[in-house]
Amino acid sequence: MSHAAPSSDDDPLLLGPLLRYVDETSATVWVRTRDAATVTVTRAGQAWSVPTFGVHGSHYALVVCEGLEPGSDEPYEVAVDGRTVWPAPGAPQSRLRTSDPDRLPYFAFGSCRTMGSHDEAGNDVHGVDALRSLAVAWRDDARAGRPDLLLLLGDQVYADTTPHPELEEYMRSRRSLEEPPGEEIKDYPEYDELYRLTWSDPVIRWALSTVPSAMIFDDHDIRDDWNTSWSWRRDMRATSWWQERIVSGLAAYWVHQHIGNLSPAELAEEEVFRLVLEHAESGAEHEVDVTGPLDALAARADAEPETYRWSHTRELGESLLVVLDSRAARDLRPDRRSMLDRVETRWLDDTLRGGHRHVFVGTSLPFLLPPGLHDLEAMDEVVARGAFGRRAAHAAEAVRRVIDLEHWAAFNAGFDEVLAMVMSLARGERGPAPETVTFLSGDVHNSYFAEVTGPAQHGSHARIVQAVCSPIRNPMPRAVRIVMSMLTRSLVRPMRFLASRSDRVPDPAYPWTVTKGPWFDNNVALCRVLPERLELTWVTGVVRDDPDHPELREVAAVRVEGSAVTATEGRDGVEPDLRTAAGAAAPVA
């Protein structure tokens, strides 16, 4: 079974549309076209047209649709040079639903989705694609509802592996895979093809066209362990291929993911996209090529991360979503290690203000790790800094890089700063305190729910919780599952004992515990804001007869309300009550 959607040689639409930023009166729609062209989005008698822009020989458009009615829900079409190219023949309509301040938010989130076929062979390797399973439910089952947002928290593409035969064939047609970087992505055109194959499955393509999305990268979007440490970065820079890889990866991320995260006002201020807008406003007939400015931006953003921000925010009714860059914005200097550099830290400090009912902080790496793993990473960080001598530091650095000890706990100064901000917000010191502060994360290839214990003892008026959903499609090996389960449960006390024996290993100022999980299924999580609580539900896909029509199974559900958290876990063969998972969301048309 082919992973990519079939297309004819004369199809002017290569990828998309993706419905990206949406608020009450505006939306953006992203496409990639075969040739330079004019792209038009039509909805409810309104039309918006823009010329494409070029990057490394490819052509894209981000159509900004403004003047929309709040709370409206209408189908839309896409035309390229006057030819209607979307919806695809036989596909359901794509709809553009604007935000409604009176509609309680409902969104889906998760991370880590490898590509592969959806037949028996593909599912044996990658497991059933949880996002595709959920998309089938959105398309076919009115009970599933349609969320206001799909939040993808990293590893949308895997640039360091090539598990797809079409991608490998494309790469071999361009270069020898016997030379560095081998079977990894080398340059921008290969990234372009990687994104095309990843998002071209017909069900995924339709889902991305009708559910607004927000995204942030993680390491595999660039390379495994990206920015783990100063020595990792030094070693990468010493290779013959890394500079082209990082510039291509960030440029491709800017095109395919980042600009769609931004509001129309933010797009008008973005330094490269402003060139696209100015060119469109000039009325020029040919497209503008932004390859040079974009590559320069990508190179600068890597070399001087304080000069460019990948983090972004989005309003969700009375709630606030803050999506943090926890990869490119790191300060890796050994004596100043922090997950966020000074400029990014200041931005987050200014952004976390009171007045929202719920605050969601999306960060690809879990902020609150299972306590046993947090202590292990904190101890390794202390040793790697040289607290016990140079030889021990080299050993700790090797361990850190081999088993990926590079989460927030391994950047303890930044962890403490952010936790202090969150506690200040929860105490009401930054304006009216929210009811909850929820960290949304992925990366670790297992899902769980954690909570800061005894928040009232710390003067907090808010529940502070961590919800992790990973992977969407990339199951963890069984042996690693056992270790992760132990670090979540049986090894918590021994690791805490070891950490507490050294005054060089910092004790967390506010303890937390994993209350539910871990779960190792391929999952997507659903979050529903209700008048009296938050509901979080993890769902997975199950193939019974037809791989093209997987069914959903509820893995677990957690309710966060008042001063209590209640939870349930799904059973094999039990279908979820999608009305509970989705609340009263409007059905898919």
Say if residue 484's pLDDT is above 80. no
C-alpha 357: how far from chain center: 23
pLDDT-based confidence at residue 495 (cuts at 50, 70, 90): low
As a whole-number percent, the residues of the chain with pLDDT over 90 amount to 79
Residue 5 has pLDDT above 70, yes or no: no
pLDDT for the residue numbered 582? 36
Q: Is the pLDDT of residue 524 over 60?
A: yes
String of b and e for 386-418 (b: at least 16 CB within 10 Å)?
A: beeeeeebeebbeebbeebbbbbbbbbbbbebb
Determine the average pLDDT of the residues in 485-489.
76
- Does the model's pTM come out above 0.85? yes
In this prediction, residue 176 carries a pLDDT of 97
Q: How confident is the model at residue 467 (pLDDT cuts 50, 70, 90)?
A: very high
- pLDDT confidence tier of residue 579, bands split at 50, 70 and 90: very low
Report the percentage of the chain scoring pLDDT > 70. 92
Average pLDDT over residues 101-122: 94
Q: Is residue 7 very low, low, confident or very high in pLDDT (cuts 50, 70, 90)?
A: low
Q: What is the pLDDT of residues 271-312, one digit of tens each?
A: 999 999 999 999 887 899 999 999 999 999 999 999 999 999
Q: What is the pLDDT of residues 214-254, one digit of tens each?
A: 999 999 999 999 999 999 999 999 999 999 999 999 999 99
The 10s digit of each residue's pLDDT in 110-120 is 999 999 899 99
Per-residue pLDDT for 561 more than 80?
yes
pLDDT of residue 225: 95
pLDDT bin (cut points 50, 70, 90) of residue 502 is: low
The DSSP annotation for 459-497 comes to T-SSEEEEEE---SB-PPPHHHHHHHHHHHTTTHHHHHH
Which of 61-70, 343-352, 567-576 is the least confident region? Answer: 567-576
With bands split at pLDDT 50, 70 and 90, how would you rate the model's confidence at 8? low
The answer on pLDDT for 69 being more than 60 is yes
Of 75-79, 173-177, 547-551, least confident by mean pLDDT is 547-551
In which band, very low, low, confident or very high, does the pLDDT at 322 lie, cut at 50, 70 and 90? Answer: very high
Return the pLDDT at 91.
Answer: 84
Burial of residue 378, with CB atoms counted within 10 A of its CB: 0-12 exposed, 13-18 middle, 19 or more buried? buried
Nearest alpha carbon to residue 337 among 264, 417, 450, 275? 417
Could you check whether the bond before residue 181 is cis, i.e. omega within 30 degrees of 0? yes
Measured CA angle at 68 (ends 67, 71), to 5 deg: 150
3-state DSSP: the chain helix, strand, coil percent, rounded to 5? 35, 25, 40
Interatomic CA distance for residues 213 and 368, integer angstroms? 24
In the structure, what pLDDT confidence band is assigned to residue 583 with cuts at 50, 70 and 90? Answer: very low
Could you read off the pLDDT of 163-206 as tens digits, one per residue?
789 999 999 999 999 999 999 999 999 999 999 999 999 999 99
| pLDDT at 580 (0 to 100) | 37
Measured distance CA(217)–CA(371) in Å, rounded: 25
Mean pLDDT of the chain: 91
Q: Which residue has the tokens 């559910």?
A: 211
Cα 376 to Cα 495: distance, rounded to the nearest angstrom: 7
227 DSSP 8-state letter? T
Taking the C-alpha atoms of residue 338 and residue 343, their distance in angstroms, rounded to an integer, is 12
- Residue 503, pLDDT > 80, answer no
Q: Which of 470, 532, 497, 486 is nearest to 220 (CA)?
A: 470
Query: For residue 486, what are the contacts with CB-CB under 8 A and spacing of at least 6?
Result: 372
pLDDT recorded at residue 578: 45
Residue pair 278/82 in contact (Cβ under 8 Å)? The answer is no
Does 265 score more than 70 pLDDT?
yes
Q: What is the pLDDT of residues 126-135, one digit of tens each?
A: 999 999 999 9
Tell me the average pLDDT across 564-575.
54
| pLDDT for position 142 | 77
